[in-house]
Structure 1
Amino acid sequence: MVHGLNHITITTSNIDRSMKFYCEILGFKPHVKWEGGAYLTAGNDWVCLSIDTVAPAGDYSHIAFSISQPDLEALKVVAKDRGIEEWKENGSEGDSLYILDPDGHKVELHVGSLQSRLESLRVKPYKNMIWC
């Protein structure tokens, strides 16, 4: 059975531009780069950048990465200074910054965890929420 997340692959039209965004702005660690892709890590999470035709989701689908509050505050300034587009304002538990990567993929930088979210739902549950 599945026991965890292995890696996330993000399609890009330009490896160098995406590596600059994910490594220089978001702080991912680069490991290898080749003509058609790159492997990076965010903490212990493996991210693959892969050259292909880009077609970002038009729905709410997005990738959320954990970040500390001080790092998020610094990133908010960098994102504003660099004109990085925000796609949503935070309205849920834990501070978040919702931005678009260079190919238009939706990325969330989130302060919090599943545990903090569940604790907040005990106080203010979603409409018709059922605990499993």
Structure 2
Amino acid sequence: MSVRGISHVTFVVADLERTARLLCEGLGAREVYDSAGREHSLSREKFFVLGDAWLVAMQGAPLAERSYRHVAFAVDAADLPACRARLQGLGVDILPGRGRIEGEGASLYFHDDDNHLFELHAGTLDERLAAYAAADAAATPSGRG
């Protein structure tokens, strides 16, 4: 057996229509299914395609509190200002972000109304590892590694 990747990500949400607006209008997802009275799972659900990702929004009680647990979607850095504007237009709670080291890649963090944290990230794993290695090398005193 070998795992090939992530199949889908499910978010439990109080309001499916509100989440559909966030995913479609805010992030550019495409809705591909709505169970609407034909519940095959635990409750009504909608399926979305965002890039190559299959996302599920399932009707239910929202998260009780916010945390740093999140899903990050890959975007081009040049698209972040337009993403921010679309999300602000939907009244999304955009966070100030966290400190970054040079080369790590820009991010935009936001919460939905169900306390899920999302990140739009302009960077790759290779870029992140290179940035961390450079920061670690710069912090190591010369000749002592």
> 2:143 aligns to what?
none
Q: Deviations over 1:36-78 (max 9, x none)?
A: 1111111111101111111155331111111112221111223
Poorly superposed stretches of 4+, deviation over 4 Å: none
- Contact 1:90–1:97 (Cα < 8 Å) also in 2: no
Gaps of 5+ in 2: 37-43, 140-145
Taking the aligned partners of 2:107 and 2:12, their CA distance within structure 1 comes to 23
Which protein shows a greater Rg?
2
Q: 1:103 aligns with which of 103, 114, 123?
A: 114
Alignment identity in percent? 28
Q: Could you tell me the TM-score, scaled by structure 2's length?
A: 0.78
> 1:71 aligns to what?
79
Taking the aligned partners of 1:73 and 1:119, their CA distance within structure 2 comes to 25
Aligned residues: 126
> 1:130 aligns to what?
none
Instruction: Name which of structure 1's ranges 44-53 and 29-38 shifts more when overlaid on structure 2.
Output: 29-38
> 2:13 aligns to what?
12
List aligned pairs for 1:39-58, cutoff 5 A. 39-55=47-63, 58=66
| Pair 1:31-2:42 in alignment | no
Gaps of 5+ in 1: 128-132
SS at match of 1:55: coil
